[in-house]
A and B are shown apart, each in its own frame.
Chain A
Amino acid sequence: DAKTTQPPSMDCAEGRAANLPCNHSTISGNEYVYWYRQIHSQGPQYIIHGLKNNETNEMASLIITEDRKSSTLILPHATLRDTAVYYCIVRAFNMEYGNKLVFGAGTILRVKS
Chain B
Amino acid sequence: NAGVTQTPKFRILKIGQSMTLQCTQDMNHNYMYWYRQDPGMGLKLIYYSVGAGITDKGEVPNGYNVSRSTTEDFPLRLELAAPSQTSVYFCASSSGTSGRHTDTQYFGPGTRLTVL
Q: Which residues of A contact B (CB under 8 A)?
A: 32, 36, 41-46, 49, 87, 93, 95-106
Question: 3 tightest CB-CB pairs across the interface, nearest first?
Answer: A43-B107, A103-B42, A98-B31
A41 to B103, CA, bound (A): 24
Binary per-residue interface labels of chain B (72-96) against chain A in the complex, 1 for a CB within 8 Å, 0 otherwise: 0000000000000000001010101
Q: Count B interface residues, CB 8 Å.
A: 28
What chain B residues lie within 8 Å of A95 (beta carbons)? Answer: 50, 96, 98
Query: In the complex the two chains form, what is the Cα distance from A87 to B41 in whole Å?
Result: 12
Q: What's the minimum C-beta distance from B95 to chain A, rounded to whole angstroms?
A: 9
CB distance from A47 to the nearest CB of B (A): 10
In the bound assembly, the distance between CA atoms of A70 and B56 in angstroms comes to 32
Q: Is B43 an interface residue (CB 8 A)?
A: yes
Question: 1/0 contact trace for B41-71 toward A, CB 8 Å?
Answer: 1111100101000001010000000000000
Complex CA distance for A105 and B103, rounded to whole angstroms: 22
Which of B31, B42, B102, B110 meets A43, CB within 8 Å? B110
B16 within 8 Å of A (CB atoms): no
**Residues of chain B from 4 to 32 with CB closer than 8 A to chain A in the complex:** 4, 30-31
Per DSSP, are chain A's interface residues mostly helix, strand or loop, or mixed? loop
Task: Give B100-112 as 1s and 0s: 1 = Cβ < 8 Å from A's Cβ atoms.
Answer: 0011111111100
- Pairwise interchain contact B98-A98, C-beta atoms closer than 8 A: no
Nearest opposing residue in chain B for A48, CB measure? B104
A96 to B54, CA, bound (A): 11
Whole-angstrom CA separation of A97 from B56 in the bound complex: 8
B90 touches A98 (CB 8 A): no
Nearest residue (CB) in A for B32 is A98
- For the complex, give the distance between the alpha carbons of A99 and B50 in Å: 10
**Chain B residues, Cβ within 8 Å of A105:** 41-42
CA distance A16 to B33 in the complex (A): 36
Looking at the complex, which one of A32, A44, A96, A104 makes contact with B90 (CB distance below 8 Å)? A44
